Structure 1
Amino acid sequence: MKYFKNISIYIVLFVIILIFVAVATNNGGPTVEKYSFLLDQIQIGNVKEIKLEGSTANVTLSKGEQGKDKYIVYIPDVSSFMDEVREPIKAKAIKDFEVIIPPTAPWWVAIIPTLGIIIIFVLFWVFFLQQSQGGGGGNRVMSFGKSRAKMTIDDKKKITFNDVAGADEEKEELKEIVEFLKQPKKFVELGARIPKGVLLVGPPGTGKTLLAKAVSGEAGVPFFTISGSDFVEMFVGVGASRVRDLFDQAKKNSPCIVFIDEIDAVGRHRGAGLGGGHDEREQTLNQLLVEMDGFGVNEGVIILAATNRPDILDPALLRPGRFDRRVVVGLPDIKGREEILKVHARGKPLAEDVKLDDLAKSTPGFTGADLENLLNEAALLAARNNRTNITMAEIKEAVFKVVMGPEKKSRVMSETEKKLTAYHEAGHAVAVKLVSTTDKVDRISIIPAGMAGGYTAYKPEEDKSYSTKANLLERIVIALGGRAAEEIVLGEISTGAYGDLKTANGVARGMITKYGMSEKLGNLIFGNENEEVFIGRDFAQARNYSEEIAAEIDREVKSIIDSCYEKTLNMLKDNISKLHAVANALIEKEKLEGQEFEELFAGA
């Protein structure tokens, strides 16, 4: 294919050169005139010379403009033309008349154009076939049923377990797979059966694909990679054919690893969706189920798959014998985040004030992808500031840029809007300081960022896996702090609290329907997310409680919101001087760091 691409470039260049040569040649040649022009010149005796070659006459005039005395005339009828010039030749009105008989061309000259068209057609067809069969082009002609998996055998830039941090337990689970591929005899002699499939489950960005690449790099065996969406096409039967082709290739190259990324695209629960499902997708899944359970013992083909939606996978896919082992790749803890930051900090010149352990503490909830993006944004900010290294200031700015989005410093705000935003954010910050037992204010800003007109960033002092009822009520009070501050100081409320109200209502409803934190309804949960209805599990949920209970849920949610709002109003009224101090500082500076806020709060 590369050969044909190179030839095509030269052909195009050659054609362009020929066009330029032809144009240049024509510019310096005689002018073409009409046949009637030649007859007129013969009648007035202004023709000095005519050379007739076939049906083309090269004419030289006796009296013509300087540089324009030579013309070419195409003769429509040569015999009639000879009759016209016979008398002028006898009268010597035409001084020189010559008939040139063109040489007869060989027979093969006539077939050159046809032969050229045939050659071009053959070259085009061969190139087209190369394109359709090369590179796993499954959506091209004659290769619909071929697998689109890419095989890697010896990658010079291979990834190993040393490049994966913050997932020690997950690596231990996968090291058994690597050991089996390197020393299968050790397991066979003990009668052990290595898992045929390993399903990597976890939120986006936690490193599932990276772990699969590390297994490939450590094992040193052929590694097939394909996405779940690459199987399914608009043509019925193509997906199943690709599954068969993929496993045929894998068996020929065993021992090997087959990695299917985003397997939920093809492994979704059968019967779900509008009308009962998609026949082509279900055929593909059926073929995948057959192929995964059709291996012989210790055949040396191991399936790795990744998904962040294990709840929608078909149960037949998850049973032992197909995916025997499920490895949950969760969010990294503080130690894991520090290790991940060390990996991504390789090759980046960090200033002395950068402490990765402190950065790990200030980034709870960040995935490995988030942390990599964070350091990359910090490096870009340092380059923008013409620095030779990355300081903690750039890293902190990068944290807020990743979480909130870039600041819109050019946006013009009126004084009224600026004051409203300042008191709104000050209300959040004061609420965090007064009620939160786990969080600490990190930054307050009234500069628009992302979709927000301003923001109050706060971070927990330590990682936590669970939230108590008191913690959830604190979240509601903090969310309502901005709305309460607007009502107390400005005497009216604005649309800026939409996101806060959405958060507060979501937390309150979750307390009642999911966590059994209602005094009246007790330890009951409401709503079954897996309940299947006519239009499919992905489109709706069936209600498993009565209208009376639904009304009681609404009353309980309203009661929680109202009590928290009343608490927020009283709390801010009791600390109105602190609220004014923080808001005025925001109006003046537009941004306050956590330490500045603490000093203002203590001094007010």
Structure 2
Amino acid sequence: MGKEILYGTVPAVIIFLLFLGVNVGPFLLFAAILFTAYFLFIKQGGNMQIGAGKSKSGSHAVKKTNISFSDIGGQERAKKELREALDFLLHKEAIEQYGIRPLKGVLLTGPPGTGKTLMAKAAANYTNSAFVAASGAQFVEMYVGVGAQRVRELFKEVKQLAEKNGQDSGIIFIDEIDVIGGKRDGQQQREYDQTLNQLLTEMDGMTTSEKPRILLVAATNRKDMLDSALLRPGRFDRHIQVDLPDKPARAQILTLHTDNKPLGLDVNLDKVAQETFGFSGAQLESVCNEAAIYAMRDESEQIMQRHFSLAIDKVMMGEMTDREASKDEKERVAIHELGHAIVSERMRPGSVSQVTLTPRGQALGYVRQNPMDDQYLYTREYMEGQIMVCLAGAVSEEIYYGGRSTGSKNDFEQALHMAQEIVQSGMSKLGIINMNYVDKASVHQEVHAIIEQLLEKTRVMLREHDAVYRYSLQVLLDSEVISGDQFREKLSEMDMVVA
């Protein structure tokens, strides 16, 4: 009614002013400016309200991909647990028969690059459910000031989407949930607390709506940062650890990522899997991609084993650098790396994959070790062997140059860390200790004693390998690389001579 009066009054006033001979041009210009500003304000405000539960693209609804659980290498236990949680959405009659309460939330935890987000995408395909996704970064970027409202509308959106598509279940995926689900310690901004409280409320309210039934799937690299109220049963009922892949899983992942690539006859993916201990799924995918790039650079029709070797080095150490060392410095680096290689082979035969002088990242040279088997528990004997490998570079420099260089700094840091692990694990002379109640000087003295003892053992071992040093040094200076097999062959020759 007010608008009609306004629309009738304004033209009448303008006609009256014209009749009196008043110049209405400035008034019309001012009115046009006001109308434009008002129109833009209304439009912007409307967008803010309409987009309350939406992303920049307009909605959190995600188009389903072709990714399935079979496309994810390894993680068999994690996939089984997630599929079971999703089955509760599919087989409602069966769970009612056993009196099972449907799961409300599934938390995927583990290191970066292990496939948590990929598993969430596979979950969208596994069930005929409405699927919406958001990330912690989006909450911070978009929801500042109105976080609780945005959480409400995120849940509202998935319900509306399920009803629109005739689906009786929905899945919400929140990546990096630690951004909004962090521990409440009283020091946080109140807005973050309100956002988390609203998320907890929505999860508690899921069971009040039988149709559509909502399952919240979240992923994080930092489970330790999440609030305990979020982790308790009844909210995130199932915590699924998505670990780094073991050797069989790495081989499976490599097979998946090389399915569309022309592999040479000499390629052994089991060997590549063995040499990539500790690599995540994302890193393995990068190894396959980089190997293909190296093959393209060489104008090779197929990807060969040497390309995979270069790719592993790149992912592990970084790209080759243009730093050109002097002849004396190259010889010193070669002596240093050969020390690492000799002790590594003596402590664990077959462990050296290659020794190279090619600078990568911050390293002027390096030894790539080849773990024979995945290992997660370590004895004192094993730890001491690894410490000796770390110390061997500096000891080699002492034997042939009479002193050490700054190139041993990182080696010493690793050696000290492992010696401290021996002490903290109760494998030293100090016995089982609580680090909070032991004098730091006593710990330092024990660590120092372990290092000094192993330094002497390393010196004795390396002094017996002069022939291996001289042969391998010349090979390295000529070609900048010596393979593990070639290096082991020389060690075997020396053993035969000694025998």
TM range (shorter): 0.7 to 0.9
Give 1:374 shift.
0.6
Give 1:219 shift.
1.0
Which one-letter code corresponds to 1:430 in the other structure? I
Task: Give per-residue Cα distances to partners, 1:388-435, cap 9 Å, x unaligned.
Answer: 222222111111111111222x42211221111011001111111122
The worse-fitting range, judged by mean Cα deviation, of 303-312 and 581-590 is: 581-590
Asked if 1:445 corresponds to 2:352, the answer is no
Give the structure-2-normalised TM-score: 0.85
> More helix by proportion, 1 or 2?
2
The structure whose Rg is larger is 1
Give 1:467 shift.
1.4
SS of residue in 2 equivalent to 1:223? strand
Structure with more contact order per residue of length (Cα contacts < 8 Å, sep ≥ 6): 2
> More strand by proportion, 1 or 2?
1
| Cross-structure match for 1:507 | 418
Q: Closer, same or farther in 2 for the Cα pair 1:363/1:324, shift >3 Å? A: same
Which one-letter code corresponds to 2:215 in the other structure? I
Give 1:509 shift.
1.2
Give 1:525 shift.
4.1
From 456, 459, 463, give the equivalent of 2:367. 456
| Cross-structure match for 1:580 | 470
Task: Give per-residue Cα distances to partners, 1:212-264, cap 9 Å, x unaligned.
Answer: 11001111322111112322369864222221221222333441111111111
Alignment of 1:347-366 (within 5 A): 347-366=260-279
From 222, 231, 235, give the equivalent of 2:130. 222
Give 1:359 shift.
2.1
Alignment of 1:528-543 (within 5 A): none
| Cross-structure match for 1:257 | 171
From 227, 234, 238, give the equivalent of 1:314. 227
| Cross-structure match for 2:326 | 414
SS of residue in 2 equivalent to 1:267? coil
From 177, 187, 196, give the equivalent of 1:285. 196
Q: Distance in 2 between matches of 1:556 and 1:440?
A: 29
Asked if 1:484 corresponds to 2:395, the answer is yes
Alignment of 1:155-554 (within 5 A): 155=64, 157-232=65-140, 237-254=145-162, 255-271=169-185, 276-296=187-207, 298=210, 300-408=213-321, 410-436=322-348, 440-513=351-424, 515-520=425-430, 522-526=431-435, 544-545=436-437, 549-554=439-444
Q: Distance in 2 between matches of 1:398 and 1:235?
A: 41
Give 1:117 shift.
6.8
From 485, 490, 493, give the equivalent of 1:600. 490
SS of residue in 2 equivalent to 1:460? coil
Asked if 1:571 corresponds to 2:461, the answer is yes
Q: Closer, same or farther in 2 for the Cα pair 1:582/1:145, shift >3 Å? A: same
Q: Closer, same or farther in 2 for the Cα pair 1:442/1:174, shift >3 Å? A: same
Q: Distance in 2 between matches of 1:490 and 1:422?
A: 12
| Cross-structure match for 2:14 | none
- Conserved 8 A contact 1:154-1:220: no
Task: Give per-residue Cα distances to partners, 1:320-346, cap 9 Å, x unaligned.
Answer: 000111111111122111111121112
| Cross-structure match for 1:530 | none
Give 1:186 shift.
2.7
Asked if 1:129 corresponds to 2:37, the answer is no
Q: Distance in 2 between matches of 1:127 and 1:398?
A: 55
- Conserved 8 A contact 2:339-2:462: yes
Q: Closer, same or farther in 2 for the Cα pair 1:333/1:229, shift >3 Å? A: same
Which one-letter code corresponds to 2:365 in the other structure? G
| Cross-structure match for 2:55 | 148
Query: Gaps spanning 5+ residues in structure 1: where?
Result: 1-109, 134-140, 527-543
Which one-letter code corresponds to 1:129 in the other structure? Q
Give the structure-1-normalised TM-score: 0.71
- Conserved 8 A contact 2:54-2:60: no
- Conserved 8 A contact 1:203-1:308: yes
Which one-letter code corresponds to 1:552 in the other structure? S
Q: Distance in 2 between matches of 1:335 and 1:503?
A: 28
Q: Closer, same or farther in 2 for the Cα pair 1:332/1:277, shift >3 Å? A: same
Which one-letter code corresponds to 1:413 in the other structure? A
Which one-letter code corresponds to 1:517 in the other structure? M
Give 1:506 shift.
1.0
Q: Distance in 2 between matches of 1:456 and 1:158?
A: 41
Q: Closer, same or farther in 2 for the Cα pair 1:144/1:278, shift >3 Å? A: farther
Task: Give per-residue Cα distances to partners, 1:129-155, cap 9 Å, x unaligned.
Answer: 39x83xxxxxxx567854539534653
